[in-house]
A and B are shown apart, each in its own frame.
Chain A
Amino acid sequence: MAVTGQLDGSELSVPTVEAPKPGLMKRWFKGSSAYLYLAPTFIILAIFVYFPIVSSLRLSLNRVAPFGNQEIFVGAENYTRLLGSSEFWNTVKVSMWFMVGTVPIGIVLAVAIALLLSYPVRRLSWLHRMLIFVPVVISSAIAGVLFRLLYNPVVGFINHWLSFIGIDGPNWLTDRTFALVAVIIAVVWRQLGFNVIIALAGLQSIDDTLYEAAKVDGASAWQRVRYITLPMLSPTLFFLAVINVIISLQAFGEINILTDGGPGQATTNLVYSVFIDAFVGTSFRGLASAQAFMLAIIIMVFSFLQFRGLGKKVHYQ
């Protein structure tokens, strides 16, 4: 069975799995104790996920004093102010560029590497996998610290190595464009192990007999990738796209450690802007909450658009 890529709000269970017949179960598990089993999860989610949505909404309709001790109701002022502010649109733009920079590259790299890894070899495959998978356990904070060293203009390695091939490396963290590229590289790197594993799982779920049949028909290696692997991999690609979009929109640790949102606001994405407005300097919680709402809406819209756009092309086995 394939790892199916269904994202549909109404039906989230994996369709191939049959639940035991309710009629029989009903008699045995006479339900009310179910609520006790659910209670801890329910309580935590209610207090720390659903309730905050409501209070975020309330905060976003108020101006909140720097010490959190006063609130002035201002209605939609925070929202209108954001929509009219070039800084807000800049953070949206940074978030979008960030997504465009991380998601396609991350997925292409992952699939390419997974294709190489899926070719059976006699020995050493454990080593290949270990070296390639390892970023999966690296935190965003550590990734930030490691890349901060690599990009350092004095003791960093990247520009030093670039100089071997005759390239005079840029100011990675103080040039607007390269700072964004620098953070994108760090995030793609941290995400790579995860993506390769997902891609490999997808590849290995493809039935070998399809390839054998294609070989018999004289398909070239590229043709087999193009006409068998990629279509059969589409549910996995779909999943990778969704999860990577969400992860890229939520990038925080690398930005905090590498650039602090700078230079200027070149790497201030929405999340970072929320953080700055809420917790840096005298805070503006109302404005921050309004931005958080916008971010949430963008994340949901993207999930939906992707589902609509990709969903039609996705191949289900």
Chain B
Amino acid sequence: MTTLDAVEQQAVEIARPKRADKFKWGEIPLHIVLIAIGLLVSTPIIIAFFMSFTPLKEIVTRPTPELLPDTWVFDNYRTAWNATPFARFMFNSFVQTGLITIGQVLFSVLAAYAFAMFDFRFKNALFAFVIGSLFVPFELIFIPNFITISDLGWANTYAGLAVPFLASAFGVFMLRQFFLTLPRDLFDAAKVDGASNWYYLWKVVVPLSKGGISAFTIFSFLGAWNQYLWPLIITNDESMRTAQIGIRFFLVNQERATDWGAIMAGAMIVMVPTLVVFLVAQKQLVKGIAMSGLKG
């Protein structure tokens, strides 16, 4: 079995673990411990959820904090949604994330294909060039990038938000590994059929690597959606802020006693897309992460 098949297999097992053959009473303590840990880990999110339905009056007048609201209200969501253009922020985040994800996946597929299948001059040097970028911390380059994007007139644009991140060395490396594992026979068959490189990439390589590509897609999506430092400095127009920056401004936009209910409602709004991805694509996500172990 190849490494990547193994990872694929693992990912399936991590997301949908193998079950014991039959229930044993002895498991019960383990269940209790695991549920307790699970609840502890999810506590911040659970609190945010309940807080988002608690009226401000209750939050500030209670003598001690309480988890559940006495009266459930939906007002906090309305407040958050109206106080700040969250709809616009979410849209911006989707555009930025969409551009970055598409760019990273597409460009990584192309580059990985070249590295896996082609022989050309400077191949090793170019590969080192790509991989070397993994070791450059973002902190070293964001000031010049800010200046570059400003000079291009791309501040406050989707281009400014996305273009610096359209390539991913990790994606190139990971997908190259995938492509290298494809069975040899396919090449021979394609060659006999006279297929072009381009055709072969899209008709054979990509469909056979769907697992790896989708895992990388999710990985890339989350990374882009959760970006913070870059959008913070490259946008100043409210209509171009992303959701992550929006929540930060919403937190700052508290002149009096902080309206925690509305802030948590805002946080829930921003978390929803990633939570949905988590619930729907847990397997791919886990696989993407498990495969990032290959990077090291």
Q: How many residues of A contact B (CB 8 A)?
A: 127
Contacts of B278 in A (CB 8 A): 133-134, 136-137
Q: Are B38 and A141 in contact (CB under 8 A)?
A: no
The answer for the CA separation of A242 and B296 in the assembled complex, in Å, is 8
In the assembled complex, B159 has its CB within 8 A of some CB on chain A = no
**B window 1-44: CB within 8 A of A:** 1-3, 6-7, 10-11, 13-24, 27, 30-31, 33-35, 37-39, 41-42, 44
Q: Is the CB of B282 within 8 A of A133?
A: yes
Q: In the complex, which of the residues A13, A33, A42, A128 contacts B177, with contact meaning CB atoms closer than 8 Å?
A: A13
Q: Is A5 an interface residue (CB 8 A)?
A: yes
Cross-chain pair count, CB within 8 angstroms: 365
Q: Name the A residues within 8 Å of B275 (CB-CB).
A: 134, 137
> Beta-carbon contacts of B196-215 to A below 8 Å, as 1s and 0s?
01000000000000000000
Interface of A: prevailing SS: helix
- One digit per residue, 1 when the CB lies within 8 angstroms of any chain B CB and 0 when it does not, for chain A 83-108 equals 00000000000000000000000000
The verdict on B147 contacting chain A, using a C-beta distance below 8 Å, is yes
- Chain B residue nearest to A112 (CB atoms) is B37
Contact assessment for B31 and A296 in the assembled complex, using a CB-CB cutoff below 8 Å: no
Give min CB distance, B264 to chain A, whole Å.
7
Instruction: Name the residue on B nearest A122 (C-beta).
Output: B23
Q: Say yes or no: A303 contacts B135, CB within 8 Å.
A: yes
A307 closest partner in B (C-beta): B296
Q: CA separation between A141 and B184, bound complex, in Å?
A: 46
Docked-complex contact A25 and B247, CB < 8 angstroms: no
Shortest B164–chain A CB gap in Å is 4
Q: Are A121 and B163 in contact (CB under 8 A)?
A: no
The answer to whether B166 touches A40 (Cβ under 8 A) is yes
CB-based contact A296/B137 at 8 Å: yes
A192 contacts across to B, CB distance below 8 A: 41
- B129 at interface (Cβ–Cβ under 8 A)? yes
Does B143 lie within 8 Å of A289, measured CB to CB? yes
Our pick among A19, A129, A197, A198 for the contact of B116 (Cβ within 8 Å) is A19
Contacting pair A40 B107 (CB below 8 A): yes
A129 and B17 within 8 A (CB): yes
Residues on A with C-beta less than 8 A from B296 are: 5-7, 235, 238-239, 242-243
Mark A253-288 against chain B: 1 for CB-CB distance below 8 A, else 0: 100110000000000001100110011000001001
- List CB contacts (< 8 Å) of A152-168 with chain B: 152, 154-157, 160
Chain A contacts of B121 at CB under 8 A?
31
Known contacts A145-B263, A149-B264: A296-B226 contact under CB 8 Å: no
B248 lies within 8 A of A256 (CB): yes
The answer to whether A137 touches B274, judged by C-beta atoms less than 8 angstroms apart, is yes
Q: List 7 A-B contacts (CB under 8 A).
A: A9-B128, A41-B111, A47-B148, A53-B140, A137-B277, A201-B289, A204-B10
Residues of B that sit less than 8 Å from A by CB: 1-3, 6-7, 10-11, 13-24, 27, 30-31, 33-35, 37-39, 41-42, 44-45, 47-48, 51, 59-60, 62, 64-65, 67, 103, 106-108, 110-111, 113-121, 123, 126-131, 133, 135-145, 147-148, 163-169, 172-173, 176-177, 180-181, 184, 187, 191, 197, 222, 225-229, 232-233, 244-245, 247-248, 251, 258, 260, 263-264, 267, 270-271, 274-275, 277-279, 282, 285-286, 289-290, 292-296
